Amino acid sequence: MSNAFVSLQKLSLAYGQTVVVPELNLDIREGELIALLGPSGCGKTTTMRAIAGLMTPQSGKIHIGGVDMTHTPANKRGIGLVFQSYALFPHLTAFENVAFGLRLKKMPVSEIKSRVEEGLNTVGLSHLADRKPAEMSGGQQQRLSLARSLVMEPKVLLLDEPLSNLDARLRLDMRTELQRLQRATGITMIFVTHDQAEALALADRIVLMKDGVIEQVGTPDELYNNPASKFAADFFGFENIFAIKGSNIIGSNGSLTANFDAENGHLAWRPSAISVGSGPFQGTVMGVSFAGEQREYVIKTDFGQIKAANPAADPVYEIGTLVAFDLPSKSAWHLPNVGNDS
């Protein structure tokens, strides 16, 4: 607790009477890259706004660098922000947008020039230094917003879906660039996304939120391989999750009698763990889609819907075909104590 660089303690956040985050506790180490992950509306942006000082908590504390900053104004917290809306100055060029904060700091002109050039170069916008935001694409504006924060060399950088408007290729490049920057500068970064692949690729630790509550905190490895709840398992790609009672699985349409290696809780399989073509169970193909290396199947069964995947080179089973499949016990993830959470 005490050597945390950013510490959120019993933080309660509300809009008027509506409590969005009831009680959040989170410690972040200096230089850590944290991904805040969760479905739309779970309170990610709200949490970031509180850390940044853009909203006052109902109760609880925010410590940054060992100092209680719960009531410190936003501009005194040493925090950089890149938000969903870029909030660029429309009347200023890209260069001047990035220079703005440095000019406020009364930095020598020559240093401003070199820092801005370096910042624009980092995000691949050197060639657009004289453009105004309205003359740039959404992705370019997003990168400009990132450059503007980086040049201020904040102690903590908060990024709220900073890559959401970029195409797949640029997104990968920027992801790598962000990670490199973070390692090189040692800035503590909190990065909001609702893309699990992005969180897995980038973060030192992932904080998974649901309805304003932290479901699980851990390394990408831990969340991917050891999800602690049905919600976490579902979020990390275990799309086939069934309750289990007395070693039978209970689906939405009925139960399946079989001897699974568990007696209660849930069993979960990734689609890639279920192959179509052989096995003790049967179902009808409702959908089939090509996904590069794999072919994905949606199968209707007597106990509910199954998502399976075969290597793309395997024979194709068309819609309407009755197929056999297996739910291998050895590749099931067992969630013992999660009751009926959704």
> Can you give the binding site for ligand ATP, defined by CB under 6 A?
15, 18, 20, 38, 40-46, 194
CA neighbor of 11 nearest in space, from 65, 48, 41: 48
Q: How far is the CB of 228 from ligand ATP (least distance, A)?
A: 20
Asked if 163 contacts 174 with a C-beta cutoff of 8 angstroms, the reply is: yes
Long-range CB pairs of 223-227, under 8 A, 24+ apart, other chains included: 224/200, 227/268, 227/333, 227/335
Binding residue for Mg ion (CB under 5 A) from 20, 34, 42, 45?
45
Binding region for Mg ion (CB under 5 A) out of 27-35, 37-45, 311-319, 325-333: 37-45
CA neighbor of 236 nearest in space, from 269, 275, 262, 192: 269
Residue whose CB is less far from Mg ion, 82 or 120: 82
Site residues for Mg ion, 124-143, by CB under 5 A, read none
Judged by beta carbon distances under 5 to 8 A according to partner kind, the member of ligand ATP, Mg ion, none in contact with residue 146 is: none
Tell me how far apart the alpha carbons of residues 52 and 56 are, in angstroms, rounded to a whole number.
Answer: 10
Q: How far is the CB of 119 from Mg ion (least distance, A)?
A: 25
Residue whose CB is less far from Mg ion, 45 or 229: 45
Q: How far is the CB of 44 from Mg ion (least distance, A)?
A: 5
Binding region for Mg ion (CB under 5 A) out of 24-32, 42-50, 107-115, 183-191: 42-50
Q: How far is the CB of 43 from Mg ion (least distance, A)?
A: 9
CA neighbor of 200 nearest in space, from 221, 225, 227: 221
Judged by beta carbon distances under 5 to 8 A according to partner kind, the member of ligand ATP, Mg ion, none in contact with residue 20 is: ligand ATP
* Residue 57 tokens, joined: 């908590």
Asked if 212 contacts 20 with a C-beta cutoff of 8 angstroms, the reply is: yes
Judged by beta carbon distances under 5 to 8 A according to partner kind, the member of ligand ATP, Mg ion, none in contact with residue 9 is: none
Q: How far is the CB of 45 from Mg ion (least distance, A)?
A: 3
- Write out the DSSP string of 115-169: HHHHHHHHTT-GGGTT--GGGS-HHHHHHHHHHHHHTT--SEEEEESTTTTS-HH
User: Which residues of the shown chain bind Mg ion in the complex (CB under 5 A)?
Assistant: 45
